[in-house]
A and B are shown apart, each in its own frame.
Chain A
Amino acid sequence: MKIIVKTAVRTGFMVLVIAGFYSCKPKKATNVVQGDAASKVYVAPGKLDEVYMFASGGFSGQVAVYGIPSGRLLRQIPVFSVNPENAWGYSEETKPMLNTTKGFIPWDDSHHPVLSKTAGNDDGRWLFINANNTPRIARIDLTTFKTTEIIELPNTGGNHASPYCTENTEYVVGASRFSVPPDETEVAINTYKQNFKGVVNFIKVNKESGHMNLEFQLDVPAIDYDLARAGKGVSHGWLFFSSYNSEQANTLLEVNASQKDKDFIMAVNWKKAEEYLAQGKGVKKPANYYHNVYDESKHMATSELMKEVMTLDARALKDICYYMPCPKSPHGCDVSPTGEYIVASGKLAAMIPVFSYKKMIAAIEAKQFEGEFDGINVLKYDAVLAGEVQKPGLGPLHTEFDQNGFAYTSFFVSSEVVKWNVETREVVDRIPTYYSIGHLCVAQGDSKQPYGKYLVALNKITKDRYLPTGPELCQSAQLIDISGEKMKLLLDFPTIGEPHYAQMIQADLVTKNQRKVYKLEENKHPYFAGNEKDAKVVRKGNEVHVYITAIRSHFTPDNIEGVKVGDDVYFHVTNLEQDWDVPHGFAVKGAGNSELLVMPGETQTLKWTPKAPGVFPMYCTDFCSALHQEMQGYIRVSPAGSSTPLSFSTGNTAAAK
């Protein structure tokens, strides 16, 4: 009996000791959602969200549009990757949009959506986004949420520091993350230092039409340019680029590009570059790149090969570019709303340097250089530094701002968002993210007038945050309320692809310009059929052009005969509707490319090459009306060389003779 009691007492003691050890374990930051988070993200049925969020799709190559604060996915805009759902990259009209000097490219890696600006504020007109892999910049028209222009960037490897725009969208820029030999020549890879070069592309944007033009390229030393922001307010006329690999390594960059204590922020005086261009200091060089433009009245894209580019050499014209030393492979390079501070986030650093524009200008005037790097003057760190944010966290990546003088920096390694005072550089609040935040986004947070109510953390890892879906899991966004003194977690929502970055804008800046239909009387498509009387089938050699109309709920014509094996059939489908939200789809059996999805008033073309004789049904794929199921027809394909005459009809019920 005594034994039993003793054993029980000893066991109890041991349990207490072990429990004691466990209670010593430091508590993790709390994962509790506080208070009225649910009501803050609840957008009642029939109500609209307050803010649009445009997130890049990363490896999906697209842009996803969300409503905030609900986190509802509203639409995916196809940009660099084909999208059979609406024939982007499959219809004859959209194929030229994905044309490059490397041929037709059906995908890319899209990174940074950037809203166009007027006077330093988001104007809701266009959204630009970069393709990192096959270097391009796309422009999305926010009246239609459609990609209407894509321009290729020659002599560029990895268009990552892109497509940041200047205060009035004078330029969007694209700087090379991967320096490469110019003119796509082949050299030994280990001759990086001698033969490779970096480049900054300046794409001029037409104020009215938005049309892009590669105005000039700035040749810069061969290192990796990572992210950028334009100056604004006081610093208007400048651009700032973060960079890494000032070691100029060409292999095992993980180690070799992390050796130096400091890399650079490159400050570029683009107004000065314009002056040099005006003085004729530019040199025209041959370069091949495609410029693809979608014409919204012809409803089709054209792809034009451009043959030369104007270049300026930053090493020779010494007062365009300056390097500011910056600790440890900086990623984010963000300019405060006033334009005075440039916040650089060294992703291996344990502090955040904040540079002063005024001090930079003074240092340039006083020639406070610590030396040159590959022909570029390097300013003294202390001469340009406003101050450092001490012990903010680990692995700062990216910073955006609110309208009350606070900055919000994401920390990948310590997985948190840290709020700090821009003037005093004191940390005032921090909140954990789940997990491993990359970029973050404050609504209008890179403009002169941020809408500092919402912040979205774009997380790389989700693990246990959602129902599991096998080895491949979604990436995630987290909505954080920043309207108060303390940041509050409101909502998790999954994303499409990997949203490297997102921008948010108050909804009314975009909704006021929305287009609902394309006007039939403005349709200038060469194969347009404006009413059912114009519907016809025309043979040109072995091409058969079908001018077909769609309206609730029939196609005209819907019976077609006389097509032969060996023909290429082009269905030019015009949607005759002029009502909002009445698209028609078009599909034909055996279509090897995709279906069509044709908006009201639009014409789109599907190429179809039947391989064997038969009767092939065609039908509408978008539920359009109570009689949608009846919206169907047939195409008869006869053997090659047969004598079936070309004929077409709708509503002719007479039986064959």
Chain B
Amino acid sequence: MKLKTSSRLIILLCALSMGVAYFTSVWKIELEAPQYPEGLRMEIWVNSIKGDINSINNLNHYIGMQTIHVEDFPEFKILPILLGIMIIWGVLAAALNTRKALFAWVAFLILVAAVASVDFWLWEYKYGHNLDPTAAIKIPGMTYQPPLIGYKELLNFLAGSLPDTGGYFIIIPALISSGVLWIEHFLFSKKT
């Protein structure tokens, strides 16, 4: 079944705008404490971790958390390719001009989101639970895991885990595309 021209245009724009995520941070973890009023930031890019990593690693040694290094994450080799596939697939969906192609793309996006969330949570679990027992400060229960999304109090820190600019440029186009699919499916299908 063919798509409306306006729908195709929206999908094309949505797919292309995801490219912004190559140039900006996708996700951020913010840490605030009384002695860090300006906050510490960890930025997750598609190919790297940036921000105050050294400071965060420094502080984490008190509780015996493993230090965070970009090389430890194979994801940073996969993510740029995955993002490319997401964009190209979206462009293809607009070009192929069938509801099926659009459906497949949106389904793919949802799958990526689900896998990424699980992966992110697993890493958080690994870092939050694998604490050195000889560290200067022993955490009750030996867990120190930041939230998947939202805010959480961790000792003297308020930790926030939220999408960053690049993340919004993936999430919002994905939501719009899902909306386009929904409109195409439920509103326009009856008329044709």
Which A residues contact B (CB, under 8 angstroms)? Answer: 551-552, 577-580, 625-627
Q: B62 near A: Cβ within 8 Å?
A: yes
* Chain A residue contacts of B38, Cβ below 8 A: 580
Q: B136 near A: Cβ within 8 Å?
A: yes
Q: Is the interface of B mostly helix, strand, loop or mixed?
A: loop
Complex formed: what's the CA distance from A552 to B136 in Å? Answer: 12
Asked if residues A626 and B55 are in contact (CB atoms below 8 Å), the reply is no
Complex formed: what's the CA distance from A579 to B39 in Å? Answer: 11
Complex formed: what's the CA distance from A342 to B19 in Å? Answer: 63
User: Nearest chain B CB to A530's CB is how many angstroms away?
Assistant: 12
Q: A552-B58, A578-B54, A580-B38 are in contact. List 11 more A-B contacts (CB 8 A).
A: A551-B58, A552-B61, A552-B62, A577-B58, A578-B55, A579-B52, A579-B55, A579-B58, A625-B62, A626-B136, A627-B62
* Most chain A CB within a 10 A radius of its CB, from B38, B52, B58, B61: B58
Complex formed: what's the CA distance from A578 to B59 in Å? Answer: 12
Smallest CB-CB separation from B35: which chain A residue?
A: A581
From 3 to 62 in chain B, residues with beta carbon under 8 angstroms from any chain A beta carbon are: 38, 52, 54-55, 58, 61-62
User: Nearest chain A CB to B33's CB is how many angstroms away?
Assistant: 12
Asked if residues A626 and B58 are in contact (CB atoms below 8 Å), the reply is no
Complex formed: what's the CA distance from A626 to B62 in Å? Answer: 9
From 43 to 97 in chain B, residues with beta carbon under 8 angstroms from any chain A beta carbon are: 52, 54-55, 58, 61-62
Q: List 17 A-B contacts (CB under 8 A).
A: A551-B58, A552-B58, A552-B61, A552-B62, A577-B58, A578-B54, A578-B55, A579-B52, A579-B55, A579-B58, A580-B38, A625-B62, A626-B62, A626-B136, A626-B137, A627-B62, A627-B136
User: Nearest chain B CB to A304's CB is how many angstroms away?
Assistant: 36
User: Nearest chain B CB to A371's CB is how many angstroms away?
Assistant: 66
* Chain B residue contacts of A552, Cβ below 8 A: 58, 61-62
* Chain A residue contacts of B62, Cβ below 8 A: 552, 625-627
Q: Is the interface of A mostly helix, strand, loop or mixed?
A: loop
User: Nearest chain A CB to B69's CB is how many angstroms away?
Assistant: 13
* Chain A residue contacts of B55, Cβ below 8 A: 578-579
* Chain A residue contacts of B137, Cβ below 8 A: 626
State the 4 A-B residue pairs at the shortest beta-carbon distance, nearest first.
Answer: A579-B55, A578-B54, A627-B136, A552-B58
User: Nearest chain A CB to B70's CB is how many angstroms away?
Assistant: 16
* Chain B residue contacts of A579, Cβ below 8 A: 52, 55, 58
Smallest CB-CB separation from B54: which chain A residue?
A: A578
* Chain A residue contacts of B136, Cβ below 8 A: 626-627
Smallest CB-CB separation from B137: which chain A residue?
A: A626
Complex formed: what's the CA distance from A580 to B38 in Å? Answer: 10
* Chain B residue contacts of A580, Cβ below 8 A: 38
Smallest CB-CB separation from A46: which chain B residue?
A: B37
Smallest CB-CB separation from A627: which chain B residue?
A: B136
Smallest CB-CB separation from A625: which chain B residue?
A: B62
Complex formed: what's the CA distance from A627 to B58 in Å? Answer: 13
Complex formed: what's the CA distance from A625 to B38 in Å? Answer: 18
Complex formed: what's the CA distance from A274 to B62 in Å? Answer: 62
Q: B126-148 toward A: CB 8 Å interface, digit per residue (1/0)?
A: 00000000001100000000000
User: Nearest chain B CB to A266's CB is how many angstroms away?
Assistant: 51
Complex formed: what's the CA distance from A626 to B52 in Å? Answer: 20
Complex formed: what's the CA distance from A311 to B171 in Å? Answer: 71
* Chain B residue contacts of A551, Cβ below 8 A: 58
Smallest CB-CB separation from B136: which chain A residue?
A: A627
* Chain B residue contacts of A578, Cβ below 8 A: 54-55
* Chain B residue contacts of A626, Cβ below 8 A: 62, 136-137
Smallest CB-CB separation from B36: which chain A residue?
A: A579
* Chain A residue contacts of B61, Cβ below 8 A: 552
* Chain A residue contacts of B54, Cβ below 8 A: 578
User: Nearest chain B CB to A503's CB is how many angstroms away?
Assistant: 29
Complex formed: what's the CA distance from A231 to B54 in Å? Answer: 50
Smallest CB-CB separation from B53: which chain A residue?
A: A578
User: Nearest chain A CB to B183's CB is how many angstroms away?
Assistant: 49
* Chain B residue contacts of A577, Cβ below 8 A: 58
Complex formed: what's the CA distance from A577 to B61 in Å? Answer: 13
User: Nearest chain A CB to B39's CB is how many angstroms away?
Assistant: 12
User: Nearest chain A CB to B50's CB is how many angstroms away?
Assistant: 14
Complex formed: what's the CA distance from A625 to B60 in Å? Answer: 13
User: Nearest chain A CB to B57's CB is how many angstroms away?
Assistant: 10
* Chain B residue contacts of A627, Cβ below 8 A: 62, 136
Complex formed: what's the CA distance from A577 to B54 in Å? Answer: 8
Complex formed: what's the CA distance from A578 to B58 in Å? Answer: 9
Complex formed: what's the CA distance from A513 to B54 in Å? Answer: 23
